[in-house]
Amino acid sequence: MEFNKNLIYFWNNLSPNVKGFIFIFLASATFPVMGTIVKHLTSELHPFQIAFFRCFFGLIIILPIIVKNNPIKILITEKLPIHLLRGLLGIGAMMAGFTALSMLPLATAVTLGYTRILFLVPLAIIFLGEKPGFIRILLISFGFI
């Protein structure tokens, strides 16, 4: 019990940047595992079926959280159109990614996936008004090269 309290205290005192880094690191570590599983499954199933079941089981996992937190309250938002657009773009990206995994060698598909940052930074500048510094742009360019 004491360990949990210490862990919660430690987590609550981390800066948002460190928390974000931890989540990005975990995502970067688990996406290749998912890609490998998808690549294996596309030998027997269509990418659409794999995407459907990924969404279906994801919903089952998150459903208790939705029910616990008042489902009606979760759906109330002032930005419903942009949430719907994000969902459609996310489904399109998942379908494109799963289809690419079925057609390309796994290493090629994963490597091409890392070019996301080249699109993400300009879009963050345009739509979110972020102002990356010279060092960040230099590091992104160096990473791409």
Q: What is the pLDDT along the chain (145 residues), one digit of tens a residue?
A: 677 788 888 888 999 999 999 998 998 888 888 889 999 999 999 999 999 999 999 999 999 988 888 878 777 888 888 889 999 999 999 999 899 989 989 888 878 877 887 888 888 888 888 888 888 888 878 877 7
Q: According to the model, what pLDDT value does residue 123 have? A: 86
CB 122 within 8 A of CB 63: no
As a three-state string, the secondary structure of 45-79 is: CCHHHHHHHHHHHHHHHHHHHHHHCCHHHHHCCCC
- The structure's pTM equals 0.73
> What does the pLDDT look like over 82-102, one tens digit per residue?
889 999 999 999 999 899 989
Closest CA to 109 of 118, 117, 100, 96: 100
